[in-house]
Structure 1
Amino acid sequence: MISALASSGCRRFRRIRRDRRGSVLVEFALGAPVLILVVIGVFEVSLLMLGHILLEGGIRMASRFGVTGQEIAGLSREAYVESMIRDQSAGLLDIRVTSISTRVYADFAAIENGSFEDGAGAGNDVVLYSVDAEWRTITPLLAGLMGTDGLVPLHAEVAVRNEPFGLDALPGSS
């Protein structure tokens, strides 16, 4: 009796082992999570790159305004730069600006190792606009892999030469 049960169990096991129905479902169940993680990762990195491009665009737009020497009444240069970054993102991404700085250099070569002064500079000065920001990951799934607690640091800089503004910049004036 026991041998008949064992023989019946072996036949049943061989029949189940040869049955291929449902194998695609099992393979999909094993492969789908990996594929989904890769797609989410590509999406997340793409958004990170977009955030960096928007940050660079915002600082570039702000520096283009800064080279003219104009100021907006009631708005600091830092507030203007931050507003330009927010305008550039068009509400698509939440970028938290952590610091904005403007440094004045004698020329472009001095940016590497020269001395600087804080500020917006005068006519014909070289100004380095720098902004640091944080971007929060969209999916908490990859937050542990990117940045700290899902916050990824972003940094953008642009160096420009101010236009010759002010009375001291006019030709023939001393």
Structure 2
Amino acid sequence: MTFSVTAGLRLMAKRVQAASPRSGDALRLIGAARADARGATALEFALIAPLLLLLLLGTIELGMVSAADILLKNAAYNGARSGRTGYVPKGATQDKVIRDAVKQRVGILMDPGKVAVVAQAYSGFDTLGKPEPFTDANGNGTRDNGENFIDVNKNGTYDLDQGAAGYGGANQVVLYSVSYPWRFFTPMVSKLMTADGVLTLSATAVVQNEPY
């Protein structure tokens, strides 16, 4: 009985194959198509993966630049707060105290050694960014050579900004300018935002010194 069933199954299989001679070819074609689809997907991913990676790195770096800009502004305010008190520890200088206060706030994302700090002192808020007073002898609204002027910052020359370099004295108004050269590591972002790969971040803070 077992022999007869086996023989019958074999015979049935032969008849099915004879009736559908292309079924095997169809299965092979389906398998090949699936393999081709997997290959095409892998090829497409290989083509777009570098672009996606650059886009991801660019997004991360732009976020870092934004964070660095916030840190730099905070550093400028921190330096200004230190400078306005006039306090200088024994054995230190006011310049070092202020620069250290600035650098304390930028060390996370920036190289403290590349941070630039510039300070200009004024007699009051109303003189910020204003030129030194002069006698307009010919009435043309501008200072010409030979016209007298008041050398407010005492540097021996006429200046369009009367601020004096330094941290000022008691009750003076001081403008702090802090800057940092951020060098991009993502080529795509670098070409879009700068010509030489360096973006100068800057921050300012204005305070009036205490009557120390």
TM-score (norm 1): 0.69
Deviation at 1:58, TM superposition (A): 1.4
1:169 corresponds in structure 2 to none
Gaps of 5+ in 2: 1-28, 132-161
- Report SS of the residue matched to 2:101: helix
Deviation at 1:142, TM superposition (A): 5.0
Instruction: Please give the per-residue CA displacement for 1:84-111, whole angstroms capped at 9, x wherever unaligned.
Output: 2331134443244353221111222322
Is 2:95 aligned against 1:48?
A: no
Is 2:39 aligned against 1:22?
A: yes
CA distance in 1, matches of 2:92, 2:195: 32
Equivalent positions of 1:1-174 (< 5 A) are 19-97=36-114, 99-114=116-131, 115-137=162-184, 139=185, 141-142=187-188, 144-145=190-191, 147=194, 150-165=197-212
Gaps of 5+ in 1: 1-11, 166-174
1:106 aligned partner, one-letter code: S
CA distance in 1, matches of 2:53, 2:62: 14
Return closer, same or farther for 1:123/1:106 CA change in 2, 3 Å cut-off.
same
Count matched residues.
150
Contact 2:176 2:204 in 1 (8 A): yes
Q: Alpha carbon RMSD of aligned pairs, Å?
A: 2.9
Deviation at 1:127, TM superposition (A): 0.6
Greater share of residues in strand: 1
Deviation at 1:77, TM superposition (A): 3.3
TM-score (norm 2): 0.59
CA distance in 2, matches of 1:134, 1:152: 6
Q: Which has the larger radius of gyration?
A: 2
Deviation at 1:150, TM superposition (A): 4.2
CA distance in 2, matches of 1:122, 1:82: 17
